[in-house]
Structure 1
Amino acid sequence: MRLPAGGEDGGSVALFGIPQLDQLLHGLFWGENVFWALDDDDAGMARFAEGVLRCIARVSSFTRRIVVDVEPRRWTAPDGFEFYPAGAGLHDLVADLKSAAGVVLAVNLRAFARDDDDRAAAWATAQLGHFALQHGVVTHWFDAAADQTSGVQTLAQCVIEARAGHLRIERADGRRSQVRGAMLPYRLGEEGLTVDATSAASLLGRGLRSIRHQRGWTQAHLAELVGVSASAISQAERGQHALSLETVLDLSDKLGMSVDHLLRGQPPSYELARADGIAWSRTGGTPYLIDSEALGLRMSVVRIPPRGSAAPAFRTDKAQVLLVAVGLVQVVLPAARPILRQGDALTVHRAGVSSCRNLGDDEAIVFWQEHD
């Protein structure tokens, strides 16, 4: 993916402009689609979107800031934002951005549905979402949580639900698995959207909701288990009110799990890591894209300069798999020197790999995996 030059992190990381979210999610990937799932109220959506726009206006790594909406404009954007109309104007927008860098879009999804043509709206949003991902354009999409017609919620790499004064991180591809489900209180003011740190009540709410969904229970079922109201469970899941310590201990006992497990919930079914600077920085600078002791799996992304050599610090007594993403690479083994082209994969069962040599004049990229 082409990354824009400059910016607050050398161009490798975009930002929300909201400190708590930037700290929790380690900023944004260039090309990331962020879906904000909001309450179904036009005036409330406008206030929330305008709060986010004020935060985006403070991010110095963006060289262009663009709002996609309808005429007349429904949102009031700060100075420095351009305007493009939804519909036919999108063709001009895509053409304009093909050679641009450091761009952020804020899209009013309701602008796409104004003609009641769901198919056309779905096609237009999918085209724009795919274009943004391929060309490194950060895109914030705003719509009601219940509106599924656009399909952007399934396309987005980051989904944030805003309800009852709390943000819930529904999806955050490329981050630690513990990020998903996090609940953070927020407020809107003249400075824009302000997000506070997660609380103990939010942690409990995330764990309750996760475990309840895993077991296929309703809130009423969980409430009956510990003798509280379904409303109390609902408020606890939203992080609005914590259950008493006695209730938490009783629930932990009846579910047959520790309080720590109750707070954390079960791990998700997948974890996505991205092979760029943000994916490396989130693990504290370790050179591993994936490092799972539970799965016995470790993977590095090795970038080899032209005519150069490189290797990760893997053990030589474990099986290794190499996949060449870009370039022409020679793998140095104790008794062989196989050459891999782009798309080739090599499995080494024993004896290990000494290094990889880039035989080309451009940078080579190798996904290098070690497993038990």
Structure 2
Amino acid sequence: MPSRQLAVVLVALSTAAAPPFLVGALAAGIDRDLGMSASAVGFAVGLCYLVAAAVCTVAGPWVDRIGAAAALRVTFVASSVALAVLAAAPGPGVITVGLLLQGFPVALSQPAANLVLSALPPGRRRGLYFGIVQAAIPASILVSGLMLGTVAGSWGWRTAFVLVAVLAALGAFVVRVPEPVAAATASGPTGPVTEPSRACLVLLGLGGLLGSATATVLPAFAASAALDGGLDPGTVGTGIVVAGLACVGCRVTASWLAGHVTPPRAVAGLGLLLASGVLGYAGLAVVDGPAFLVFVAIGYGLGWGWPGVFNLAVTAARPRSVGAMTGRSQAALFAGGMLGPTAFGIAVDRAGYPAAWAGVGVLALLGAACFALAALLWRSQAAWGGAPASELNGTQAPSAARP
């Protein structure tokens, strides 16, 4: 994959994903200046993902029509507008409006990214590229942590939004975007591909919804919880950066490994990652001080290291309708991103952080169980017997090797 195309996808996804994370990381300063409570922050972040969930089911076909290049430009422009609204917000209501507007570029960015990835030559490297592209989300967390520890502390939280808005605007006019990939779709699979049952897809989507509900709580509330526990902004910012690096490493590594196994085994890996993340959530419920940030990193790395593998599995499930499947699967993820922070914010206000983190752990276990059941169903289908690992990446085994 040309480095230019990879760079533009990473920047587009990062600037689209950054605003909810920035609001979460800078919530203490926003609350001090504007009087925005934890539940209000959770509602605003959840509203962003609610809009994205509502839009993404039609965003995929629309991106197919206008092409990846135009879609990425729209994503950049829309992100810069929403970030400008957030930077100039005079009160909590406008913060909420800014995040509502951000739901549109969030919905557009993933279908556009998948279109770019669909132009890749089939092969095991596709897993690696999925992981690298999905690392753009935790890269946004890194930006949030850096902003909290540096820019926000020196120049105020509004400056952080301005800087990211400028980056998004430059992306629309300076960064060279890839050509529309409609002509490149022929490089995808051309032979028959066995597909999992509808029940398997339902379980896969439910696991994604629950996994997203738990994971999106971390960028929205981890910084505020650490500050509430007495840690200083510089230490918290450093901890968030370390957590983001852990998530980046896990996403890339897990996706690369998934490129070497069959789709059912990759889905089983999703369950293992999500279940392992429960260790982080359990720690967050019982510890404070610097150790709190260690468990934040565990939650980020293990509990949120699965989206690249998830997208690979979705692509393998319906290789002839990747756009439609992307829209539906992203709707599940965004719905989880809406429900998780909203419920968590309410739980914090009513029962405190420890009880809220314990609830997150329970949801993560339920999501892991859904992934495990989906893997069992997929594996049990006779047509998957002996399926080569290359099918996960959109390639076909040589005809002589197939029954």
What is the TM-score of this pair, normalised by structure 2?
A: 0.23
More RCO (CA 8 Å, sep 6+): 2
**Between Structure 1 and Structure 2, which shows a larger proportion of helix residues?**
2
What is the TM-score of this pair, normalised by structure 1?
A: 0.24
**Between Structure 1 and Structure 2, which shows a larger proportion of strand residues?**
1
- Bigger Rg, which one: 1
